Amino acid sequence: MLEILYQDEHLVAVNKPAGWLVHRSWLDRHESVFVMQTVRDQIGQHVFTVHRLDRPTSGVLLMALSSEVAHLLSQQFEQHQVQKTYHAVVRGFVNDAATLDYPLTQERDKIADKFFRCG
């Protein structure tokens, strides 16, 4: 069972645990637990992805309860009308609070990246 953070007639937001796939994927054909199916079974209603979080990432995952709402929200994400904020928990300490506004170093995925060429 996943923690539902928010739900209304159009949306549901859940707390996605690290290690869970959002939906079935060729990245792991043997996986049997997915956020979409778990939420669907939990609320008794089909859900539609609006965005995703990588498997190792935990956080708030927003899903639509209709394809129309999913389409509208996906457009807002694509057009950067929605602001996402990521918080990282790291080992170590800093002397002062800081905002880091640059991409993290890219780390290649040993499964997915063998299907894509960098160039």
| 54 catalytic per annotation | yes
d(CA 69, CA 74): 8
Token reading at 51: 């965005």
Set 8, 28, 41, 54: catalytic member: 54
Report angle CA 8, 14, 15 to the nearest 5 degrees: 155
CA 4, CA 117: separation in Å to the nearest integer? 38
Specify the length of the chain in residues. Answer: 119
* 13 bridge partner residues: 6, 62
Residues forming the active site:
54
